[in-house]
């Protein structure tokens, strides 16, 4: 099954204009058991049920998927839903791409000696010194990272709290969670649980508190500051 999905993904990428080298590199980077996401030294492993490449149709359009099993059959569901959640991967991605300049050459993470970051905050064993990519690969990697972030948000927050989140709130949460390891969200929720009856103001306070807590240990750039402002504004829309 994995080989079939990888073949479909590569074929689709070639169909939308990616080169053979781009398609091969994307397939290698977006293996579900290797990829990581995050902007900075707080990166970590994605949730086990959030693994998988971006949709096999090779696009970042239209939407959501079911991160924990969306590789089955090659495409995410057309209704754009993951369990109990609807969100826009286009908007989650756009917030990041508008604010952040992608790294097309692997860069050593701050205070690290062996771990590198590339693209829009992608980290993993496959990201090594002197590695270079192009914009097509950077965007495909971001899409895969956002699907894994969606799996984390669904598992560690929405299912556990049973609170009602709007599509805008979920989209902003997914966009933000792309930049942190899933355990950061899990730990914050354990210390700041939301009731199933949480109001919109309660949920907004949770989100802004999560951002402040996760970013406190990091020296953020002006780009990340702008991104956080955009995510909060989108969350509140």
Encode pLDDT of 109-137 as tens digits. Answer: 888 888 999 999 999 888 999 999 999 99
Q: Is the pLDDT of residue 48 over 80?
A: no
* 34: helix, strand or coil: coil
Count the Cβ atoms, other than its own, within 10 Å of residue 186.
Answer: 15
Quick one: pLDDT band at residue 8, thresholds 50, 70, 90? very low
Count the Cβ atoms, other than its own, within 10 Å of residue 193.
Answer: 12
User: What is residue 42's predicted lDDT score, i.e. its pLDDT?
Assistant: 35
Q: Is the pLDDT of residue 170 over 90?
A: yes
User: What is residue 20's predicted lDDT score, i.e. its pLDDT?
Assistant: 52
User: What is residue 24's predicted lDDT score, i.e. its pLDDT?
Assistant: 54
Q: Is the pLDDT of residue 6 over 60?
A: no
User: What is residue 45's predicted lDDT score, i.e. its pLDDT?
Assistant: 38
Quick one: pLDDT band at residue 221, thresholds 50, 70, 90? confident
Radius of gyration of the chain (CA): 17
Q: Is the pLDDT of residue 39 over 90?
A: no
Mean pLDDT score, 2-16: 42
* pTM recorded for the entire structure: 0.69
* 224: helix, strand or coil: helix
- Contact assessment for residue 10 and residue 27, using Cβ atoms and an 8 Å cutoff: yes
Looking at CATH, the fold of the domain delimited by 2-75+83-236 is given as Lysozyme (1.10.530)
User: What is residue 22's predicted lDDT score, i.e. its pLDDT?
Assistant: 58
């Amino acid at each position: 099954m994995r080989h079939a999905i990888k073949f479909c993904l590569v074929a689709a990428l070639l169909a939308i204009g990616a080169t053979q080298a781009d398609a091969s590199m994307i397939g290698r980077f977006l293996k579900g058991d290797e990829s990581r996401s995050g902007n900075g030294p707080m990166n970590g492993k994605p949730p086990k049920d959030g693994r998988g490449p971006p949709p096999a149709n090779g696009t970042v359009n239209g939407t959501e998927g079911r991160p924990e099993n969306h590789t089955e059959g090659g495409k995410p569901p057309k209704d754009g839903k993951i369990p109990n959640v609807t969100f826009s991967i286009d908007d989650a991605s756009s917030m990041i791409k508008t604010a952040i300049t992608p790294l097309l050459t692997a860069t050593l993470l701050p205070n690290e000696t062996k771990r590198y970051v590339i693209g829009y905050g992608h980290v993993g064993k496959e990201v090594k010194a002197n590695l270079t990519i192009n914009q097509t690969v950077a965007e495909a990697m971001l899409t895969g990272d956002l699907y894994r972030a969606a799996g984390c948000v669904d598992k560690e927050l929405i299912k556990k709290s049973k609170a009602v989140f709007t599509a805008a709130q979920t989209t902003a949460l997914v966009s933000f969670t792309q930049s942190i390891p899933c355990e950061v969200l899990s730990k914050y929720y354990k210390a700041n649980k939301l009731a199933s009856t949480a109001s919109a103001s309660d949920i907004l306070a949770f989100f802004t508190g999560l951002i402040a807590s996760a970013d406190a240990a990091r020296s953020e750039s002006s780009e990340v500051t702008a991104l956080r402002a955009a995510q909060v504004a989108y969350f509140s829309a």
